[in-house]
Amino acid sequence: MYTFLLLPLFLHMGVFLQCFGVGFFALMIPAFLFYRAGYQDDKHSTLLKLSIALIVIYLIFPVSNIVNYLFLKANFQEAMISTGKEFFKTSKLFSSRISGGIFGTSLLLMIIAYFSRPKASPTSASPENQAEKILKLFSIGSLIACFALFLYASVQHFTGFDYRLPGQMMPPTNLMNDGRYRAMGLYGHPLSLAGSSLALFCFFYSLAWKNLKEQFLSLQYTAIYLSIALGHICIIFLSGSRFAALIAFSYLIAIPIFVKVPAKVAKYRNGFIFLSVILIPLIGYFSGIFKRFKELNLSSDWTTIIGERSIFWKVHWQMFVDQPFWGQGYAFVTQYLRTYYYNTMGYEKLVRKYNAHNAYLETATCVGIIGTIVILFAGYIFLKQLHQYSKDSPISKTVFKCFLIALSANAINGLTQNTAYDATICYQYIGMFMVVIWISRYHRQDSISQKAL
């Protein structure tokens, strides 16, 4: 199970290494060790439902592309001519807005579910609690990875250094008004770093308070979780993401209030919140995030305050209104429709003709009302089945709740960013998801082994 010590190190790197880490250290190797030990799983049908739900979410985008291509293609002729596109690449019909990591994880999970069918062979005894060990190793690995990422993000923030880019310097677009840079870490954009750290901050911060309440691990791990949370909220500040910083600060106060802790801990809670309200903004001040807020002209109307996002939202809303039921099709939007709408709506001189910068509006634009309903329903089935799978284990049940809290943070962050479609952020959630799965599986085997002994 030492694969879960390495998994966080890969999750803190670029998309390719995140994909490699999830595939090998969260899926293939743990599955091999699980079955080599003679274990079996009586909930293989739940794993199948989880994988099918994820596949449905992934495939709804290609389905929308194909529907638009077969039945609504005439609507795009003018857009193709206007943008200089003479033909449509049919290979793009099978493209999805969802990260390919979701699809790959789903297929591997389905294979694992197939081999999870009960066997006639007896279950091996496991004297050590493997479920607790997985969480401990994942926590230690996350602490090491967080510390390393914080150091690198700090160097980027103050110097602009990035070994991956030409000249080993970040572009001028990352430069803030105070002369410092918006850190990207090992990802492709500061907002990817912010969304990723927001997910990890909420996950480990809620895990710290849950551990104080339930004491499923020693207090030493509460300190580890708080250290990871502190590191990631600092990384969010270094990224210069204002909205992510506001969400993180809100969760910093809200989580201790809503988690019911023992009376001996509760008497220190108010003091902790008070110190957090003082110290965290102080850290934010020295990181330069306050100056990012000062860049906003709060005395102006809302369109001036949010800047170009108001244009992004206006353009994509019109795209949705023009094709509300099946959407415009992700393949068509990316090839020429997005540029066409920007130009025809009077924004042809706009340099940054970006995506919606709103995950919900982006979804509605690509797959319409029908596709959005399918995604929401499949998402509900996924969370319901994951809850069903994890409820037998106190630890996995707690980790599942922390996973939900982390998910809710970027659901809010999705109001100003396409967080649902950022592969960097998605892999963080896949990592948490797989931790829930393997803790649940090993907990049941530990329980069976203890009964046998």
Please say if the pLDDT value at position 216 is more than 80.
yes
The first and second tokens of residue 14, run together, are 């670029």
pLDDT (mean) for 322-333: 90
Cα(118)–Cα(279) distance, integer angstroms = 53
Q: Tell me what pLDDT residue 88 has.
A: 67
Please say if the pLDDT value at position 147 is more than 70.
yes
- The residue that leads in pLDDT, 48 or 442, is 48
Please say if the pLDDT value at position 305 is more than 50.
no
Nearest CA to 448 out of 123, 133, 130, 128 is that of 123
Q: Tell me what pLDDT residue 122 has.
A: 41
Instruction: Give 9's pLDDT tier (boundaries 50, 70, 90).
Output: very high
Strand partners, 169: 161
Contacts 24+ apart (CB under 8 A), 263-272: 265/212, 265/213
Please say if the pLDDT value at position 153 is more than 70.
yes
Question: Are residues 323 and 72 in contact, defined by beta-carbon separation less than 8 angstroms?
Answer: yes
Question: Sign of torsion, CA 86 328 382 437?
Answer: positive
Q: Tell me what pLDDT residue 119 has.
A: 46
Question: Are residues 412 and 76 in contact, defined by beta-carbon separation less than 8 angstroms?
Answer: no
Please say if the pLDDT value at position 436 is more than 80.
yes
User: Can you tell me which residue has the tokens 């709408």?
Assistant: 341
Please say if the pLDDT value at position 290 is more than 90.
no
Characterise 283 by phi-psi region: left (phi > 0), alpha (psi -120 to 50), beta (else).
alpha
User: Can you tell me which residue has the tokens 């193709």?
Assistant: 80
Q: Tell me what pLDDT residue 428 has.
A: 95
Q: Tell me what pLDDT residue 108 has.
A: 82
Distances (CA, A) of 48 to 113, 114, 172, 372: 6, 8, 47, 22
Q: Which of 50-54, 169-173, 370-374 has the highest mean pLDDT?
A: 370-374
Instruction: Give 306's pLDDT tier (boundaries 50, 70, 90).
Output: low
Please say if the pLDDT value at position 127 is more than 50.
no
CA angle 428/236/211 to nearest 5° reads 60
Report the percent of the chain where pLDDT is more than 90.
Answer: 45
CA angle 326/53/11 to nearest 5° reads 105
Q: Tell me what pLDDT residue 73 has.
A: 62
pLDDT (mean) for 53-57: 93
